[in-house]
Amino acid sequence: MKKFLKKLAFFLTISFTIFGILLLLLYLKSTKVRGYLEKSHAVNANILIIESWLPDKAIEIINSEVLNDSYDFYVTAGIQSEELDFCQIAMNGYLIFYPKINLTQEVTCKPHKIAVVARSEMGGKYSCHFNLFINDSIVSDFYADEKPRSYEIEWFGKISEIDSLTVQFTNDYLDDSGDRNLYIKEFVIDNELTIPYQFNSIYDIGKLGGNNRIVNDYNSHSEMIRNKMIRNGADPAKVIAVTGKRTRINRTLNGALAFNEWLVKSKPDIVGINIITMSIHARRTWLTYRKVLDNKFDIGVIPLPVAHAIEKEEPNQSEIVVETLRLIYYWLLLLPY
């Protein structure tokens, strides 16, 4: 009897879920659905959460408008992501590695294998061309394709005399069909010494040694957004990066869990919490933080308009359908909280 009741309960749960989805999909014909997903409700708050997956344009808006408000803390919340395993070189420029090699016992010059792990956004005519420098001398050049590969040279000298290893991206290109971007992961010397781009490199956009420089001193989107905000004038003492575990699913949930851990450890005085996110993602984000924080605080949400934040058209019908399905999934996912 118990097994039958469990099966019946499961069947009814699935049936009601599917029925609810069908009703919502029919309801999507109404323009009210977008307004429901794009919940906008700011509260009196002293903590502002900024979802770290937001695009660069959105961060510019946050810096120019939102940071004028009197928040005590700006918390960039996100997760560790495999997207950051490679450094994106989106424009012509120089990715300069400073390997900090200390090999005092090396007394003679000898052949060494030096490889850079790279890939291109796309192949064919969109393959990326890059020059490879050791110190100030160009030693080779390559075309990268879509698959990550080791592009290797043999170099004769003392490894301890290498001050810098540089990749110069030379053929940035954009048209209606695609965008040519180069991705660099690491240098490998003699198949033994690995130098990742994180915490070992800087990216000079355009001119070498110019003013447009990015320091790769982060290993998560949360830290990256924090650094951008500080470079744009935010007070470093007020900007906090919190990072959840690496995952491909439930990213909003894991970002909220990371924020909750920070609250438990830091114990800040909280008046209220506002969250900045994008457009139709707002209700799912707001729901997630309310559930994870167990309604202990007044929580608001501020959706950034797509047209201004990422310079594209407003969400289309298919995007609204997908976000609605994700919201239903999150309703079920958050039941234990």
pLDDT of amino acid 107: 65
pLDDT of amino acid 227: 86
pLDDT of amino acid 65: 63
Of 164, 182, 215, which residue constitutes the final position of a domain?
215
Does 71 lie in the same domain as 156? no
pLDDT (tens digit per residue) in 207-243: 888 788 888 988 888 998 898 888 878 889 999 999 9
Does 51 lie in the same domain as 151? no
Does 304 lie in the same domain as 256? yes
pLDDT of amino acid 106: 66
Does 189 lie in the same domain as 101? yes
Domain of 242?
37-81+220-333
3-state secondary structure the chain: CHHHHHHHHHHHHHHHHHHHHHHHHHHCCCCHHHHHHCCCECCCCCEEEEECCCCHHHHHHHHHCHHHCCCCEEEEEEECCHHHHCEEECCCEEEEECCCCCCCCCCCCEEEEEEEEEEECCCHHHCEEEEEEECCEEEEEEEECCCCEEEEEEEEECHHHCCCEEEEECCCEEECCEEECEEEEEEEECCCEEEECCCCEEEEECCCCCCCEEECCCCCHHHHHHHHHHHCCCCCCCEEEEEECCCCCCHHHHHHHHHHHHHHHHCCCCCCEEEEEEHHHHHHHHHHHHHHCCCCCCEEEEEECHHHHCCCCCCCHHHHHHHHHHHHHHHHHCCCC
pLDDT of amino acid 325: 85
pLDDT of amino acid 195: 94
Does 204 lie in the same domain as 127? yes
Does 248 lie in the same domain as 308? yes
Does residue 209 sit within a domain? Answer: yes
Does residue 26 sit within a domain? Answer: no
Does 178 lie in the same domain as 236? no
pLDDT of amino acid 154: 95
Low-confidence residues of the chain, pLDDT below 50?
A: 308-309
pLDDT of amino acid 66: 64
Does 297 lie in the same domain as 186? no
Does 197 lie in the same domain as 295? no
pLDDT of amino acid 220: 87
Does residue 205 sit within a domain? Answer: yes
Does residue 10 sit within a domain? Answer: no
Number of domains in the chain: 2
Does 125 lie in the same domain as 42? no
Does residue 309 sit within a domain? Answer: yes
Does 225 lie in the same domain as 194? no
Does 46 lie in the same domain as 128? no
Whole-model pTM?
0.74
pLDDT of amino acid 200: 94
